[in-house]
Structure 1
């Protein structure tokens, strides 16, 4: 069996470190430089975990367990629309509840919207990038040590197919493929902080901004899934995502300045 290149594993380690470093760096920056409160960061972390990994994931399990669930999963457009809609509803509703009820005592500082976004987007970076790379590293070690053969011999069906595909990706892909996730997570954090500012402002009176945040989140997630689903080159996907994130950031910055 082919081995995972050493350079690929190095890049996995780098991506893993960045995934865990992003929330730490953001927390220190907003706390030390901008004097944000501590609570919004950890509320952002908790809301993401509860609304995304618990509630949204539960809905996914129910939907994909229904007869039409397979139709959604096997159709790129339907899957993108469904995923984008669920992500927008759960994450933006979580923000709305956090700002409207849980963080009412922290509404005197607008920077707390950014601090919340740092927690929300930071824990997402740790989950999507950091923890994923730990899994990739563990798989790489099992491949290079030969243990993977024993694992493959003891599973079957869809699990076997998925694992074989993952092994092929790890061994055959160019090493640099494990680095773009860093750029993608940076853009994602920019978007998460920007959306937090919009929802924060909606709670403070500009109600239409909540609907706008929902729409932006839905469009951004749906677009990326569609592009990936149709195998658009990764560099173009990241470029498009970057343009979307920076555009939303500039708009939310304008709103933020008006609120200050």
Structure 2
């Protein structure tokens, strides 16, 4: 049985992700103003570049190298670089082709909110929403019959994960999304600054920063270390630097005449 307390914990990150998205829009609407088009294209861009195009590449790579988990260093490097390339080049393409009238600080903030906000919502729906479905199946006694198409060892792994995962995991997931959204906003501003200053080196820098930050996280996904507090502490430091850059970027855009 999955306890009521744990089920409530699974709901928290989902609700929090929607509140975070709406809250960022309202907060920055008062501080700097926001534009609807960059928010929408930021959200759509995240889905297209990370959930469609990047996922296609992952399927090809995993199919070609089914024992990827046996090579965590190589997988961590690949995963981090893939995330950096698809996300930062995705921002660059959208800003360059579809958001030519939004190359200012407000446009960058709006785009970052759309990109990071939809990321939070989708990830929490996938992770916590799936856990909720499995939990209700387990409590109703329909898990095995409903998932009979899966191999027995995979069923056992899913069941063990749902039953043994503590409530703190889900609360930390909400906190992680708070940290991550500031990084997404900062990287959006960095790419846009590169466009405003006509310096592609900023985009390359954004790719390298993104890959460098993601590497330990991807490395952890193949079981190299599982201490969630260390991971969250690491992301908290990243969020602080991201927030400081977000504030500094406003002056940088003014200096660039935007």
Give the drift of 1:156: 4.2
Confirm or deny: 8 A CA contact 1:5 1:175 kept in the other structure.
no
Give the drift of 1:113: 0.3
Greater Cα shift, 29-38 or 47-56: 29-38
- SS at 1:104's partner residue? coil
Mapped to 1, the partners of 2:157 and 2:46 lie a distance apart of 29
TM normalised by structure 2 equals 0.91
Please list every run of at least 4 consecutive aligned residues from structure 1 whose deviation after the TM superposition is greater than 6 angstroms.
none
5 Å matches for 1:28-47? 28-47=26-45
Mapped to 1, the partners of 2:26 and 2:2 lie a distance apart of 36
1:143 aligns with one of 133, 138, 141: 138
5 Å matches for 1:100-249? 100-107=96-103, 109-152=104-147, 154-157=148-151, 160-205=152-197, 206-228=199-221, 229-249=223-243
Give the drift of 1:164: 2.0
TM normalised by structure 1 equals 0.90
Paired residues in the alignment total: 252
5 Å matches for 1:54-69? 54-66=52-64, 69=65
Mapped to 1, the partners of 2:88 and 2:163 lie a distance apart of 38
Q: Which runs of 5+ in 2 are unaligned?
A: none
Residue 78 of structure 1 is matched in structure 2 by: 74
Confirm or deny: 8 A CA contact 1:114 1:196 kept in the other structure.
yes
Mapped to 2, the partners of 1:71 and 1:138 lie a distance apart of 29
Confirm or deny: 8 A CA contact 1:37 1:115 kept in the other structure.
yes
Residue 256 of structure 1 is matched in structure 2 by: 250
Greater Cα shift, 187-196 or 22-31: 22-31
Q: Which runs of 5+ in 1 are unaligned?
A: none
Greater Cα shift, 41-50 or 202-211: 202-211
